[in-house]
Structure 1
Amino acid sequence: MNFSFNKLSGEIPIDSPFANVTSQSFLSNDALCGDSRFNIKPCQTKSTKKSRRKRVLIGLYTLLGIVSLLVLAVGYVVLRLRKTKKNASQADVSLVKEHERISYYELEQATEGFNESNLLGNGSFSTVYKGILIDGTVLAAKVFNVQLEGAFKSFDTECEILRNLRHRNLTKVITSCANLDFKALVLEYMPNGTLDKWLYSHNLFMNLLQRVDIMIDVASAMDYLHNGYSTPVVHCDLKPKYGQDGIVSTSCDIYSFGILMMETFTRRRPSDEIFTEELSIQRWVSDSFPGEIHKVVDSNLVQPGDEQIDAKMRCLLSIMELALYCTLVTPDARISMKDALSTLKKIRLQLVNNRD
């Protein structure tokens, strides 16, 4: 019998009629297995297959174990690096916090073409608009004026500084929008409106304590900028054009803060028509201090017949005295923001105690 070149497979029987068959009968049947006398590979028994399968499973489990340990190790390292980076930057305020960098088109749509009806305020180098993104996010867009020299530099400086500043009274940055001829910061929208709105709107009113609280909050943020950061940061934009004299310093901010206090408690804008080159709001308050201070403060704060009118006038006198210390002609003679904050807190405490 000759079964050569038939591509046979399986085990060759050793019983008759194959008892006397030789290897020459099974040439070129590579899939056959059986006894060694046929010069072919031995057949695998069930125990052999089981042993091989066991070895394969052991190998797979070992490999999976190694991969799992590697993933855990990498994850641990990544978490440690993130934690270290977070601690080092003190919860870094990234310009891309909740949104990707926004496009000019999206910002234009959100602000209705930067419409004046959405105008929130103006600064030395920028204009701020209210906007609403497609996803419903309400924002404030601080658009830098490209016509003003130094505006783009101011944008870059703010981006760099705001990465590291964290204070509850400083507006948070959500993201930014920038191209060759347009730069804007997208800020957290403050729904309660601006100080200007609350001071000069006919249907809104802030009492004396509320105004003191606002000044404390502003002073707290300014104190953080001046003294709570590794390098003193100058705001430069509390009141445009006040106290700068071409030199940027913390004393400029203190002067501007003094002007802001005067405006808040007199309800008179520094740009009011009654003020001229000869008579500024600072000079107006100074000339009335202390004997005629009642003539310059907001009359809505001290109504006739108010049982606390004397206590309120003492409070207002202290506030105007502080404002004058902030606006002294010589920068080095001005009170520090830290001391101004401390003084305001004492004034508030006296005001609350008198109410009780």
Structure 2
Amino acid sequence: MGNKGLCGAPCFHFSECKIEKSRKWNAHIVLTYILSAAIVATLLVAFLCILKFRKHKVVNNSEVDQSGARWRRISYYEIQQATDRFNDGNLLGVGSFGRVYKGVLSYGTNVAVKVFNLGLEGAFRSFDAECEILRSVRHRNLTKIISSCSNMDFKALILSYMPNGSLERWLHSEHHGLSMIQRLNIMIDVAEAMDYLHNGGSVPIIHCDLKPSNILLDEDMVAHVTDFGIAKLLSGDDSITQTMNLATIGYMAPGEFLI
């Protein structure tokens, strides 16, 4: 008497016991949580497997690119069509050994076509140097070479197109400006590119002409070092002395061009 928590069979005038029902309800909740956790874990494992597969696929594609197996040969006629017969309206810039044009290949890819002026002294050597270096390096902060076109009368490199142009344009134009964060990011990008050239391969590479006009910015404002026409491979003891006086107009020490 007076024990309100007492329960039992209704025939004995006790209130109905709900312990068993409550246990069943708790078991149902536990089972639901277990199944939900199992589903989430399965989805997570599947996602990690897909991510690992895609990463492995990207690595394999990079290896194929380095071997040149998938490089597409581009003819002079295709370059001529892509640049609208080297129309001045597609001119991106003029360098020491030639001109750079924007081009659109037949399958819609935007490219930069660097056409060497073979009448200039050193143009053949510059073309050979860029081919030698760009075919053996791969880094997110270096300009990617897509293909080349070469014969006795015409030499050109087909490079990735950088929609935001050169760093020089952003530093010296009234219509463009860089925030401090963007400047720091560009300096880090260039420093990583230089570290890769100096220490990332079996033979150190010295750019010899690092300046704002030779740093290009992609659609995400990521910096890419370009123009390896006078770069040097330090494969011998006397190569260091050969780099001391190399540069073109506008060259500044790497740490100064963003100040």
Structures share a fold, TM > 0.5? yes
Q: Deviation at 1:197?
A: 2.4
User: What residue in structure 2 maps to residue 130 of structure 1?
Assistant: 102
1:102·1:176 contact (CA, 8 Å) conserved in 2? yes
Partners of 1:112 and 1:208 lie apart in 2 by 38
Q: Which residue of 2 aligns with 1:194?
A: 166
| Structure with the bigger percentage of strand | 2
Tell me which of 140, 151, 161 is aligned to 2:112: 140
1:214 pairs, out of 186, 192, 200, with 186
CA–CA separation in structure 2 for the residues paired with 1:250 and 1:223: 19
C-alpha distance in 1, partners of 2:196/2:251? 14
CA gap 1:122/1:201 in 2 versus in 1, 3 angstroms? same
Distance 1:158 1:263, change over 3 A: closer
Distance of 1:205 and 1:109 partners within structure 2:
34
In structure 1, C-alpha distance between the alignment counterparts of 2:162 and 2:154, rounded to whole Å: 24
Instruction: Indicate which of 206, 211, 225 corresponds to 2:197.
Output: 225
The answer for the alignment partner of 1:173 in structure 2 is: 145
Question: 1:93 and 2:74 equivalent?
Answer: no
Query: Per residue, is there more helix in 1 or in 2?
Result: 1
Q: Deviations over 1:269-295 (max 9, x none)?
A: xxxxxxxxxxxxxxxxxxxxxxxxxxx
AA of the residue aligned to 1:93: Q
Counterpart of 1:211 in structure 2: which amino acid?
R
The CA deviation at 1:90 is 5.6
Q: Which runs of 5+ in 1 are unaligned?
A: 1-85, 266-356
Alignment-derived partner of residue 337 in structure 1: none
Query: Is it true that 1:102 corresponds to 2:74 in the alignment?
Result: yes
Report deviation, 1:103: 1.4
Task: Please identify the structure whose Cα radius of gyration is greater.
Answer: 1
CA separation of 1:127/1:223 partners in 2, compared to 1, >3 Å: closer, same or farther? farther
TM-score, L = length of structure 2: 0.57
Post-superposition shift, 1:238? 2.2
TM-score when normalising by structure 1: 0.42
Q: Where do residues 53-68 of structure 1 align in structure 2 (5 Å cutoff)?
A: none
* Contact 2:118/2:154 (8 A) holds in 1: yes
How far apart, CA to CA, are the structure 2 residues paired with 1:207 and 1:251? 33
Give, in angstroms, the shift of residue 158 of structure 1. Answer: 2.0
Percent of aligned positions that are identical: 57
State the shift of 1:216 in Å: 1.6
Which residue matches 1:310? none
* SS in structure 1 at match of 2:156: strand
CA contact (8 A) 1:125 1:154 kept: yes
Query: Aligned letter for 1:122?
Result: V
The whole-number CA distance in structure 2 between the counterparts of 1:250 and 1:96 is 37
Once the two structures are TM-superposed, the CA of residue 199 in structure 1 deviates from its matched residue by 2.1
Distance 1:206 1:259, change over 3 A: same
Task: Select the structure with the greater relative contact order (CA < 8 A; seq sep ≥ 6).
Answer: 2
SS at match of 2:102: strand
Q: What secondary structure is seen at the aligned counterpart in 1 of 2:205? A: coil
CA distance in 2, matches of 1:183, 1:238: 23
Structure 2 unmatched runs, 5+? 1-58, 215-231, 233-240
Quick one: structure 1 residues 204 and 216, their matched pair in 2 at CA, closer, same or farther if it must change by over 3 Å? same
For residue 198 of structure 1, report the CA deviation from its aligned partner. 1.8
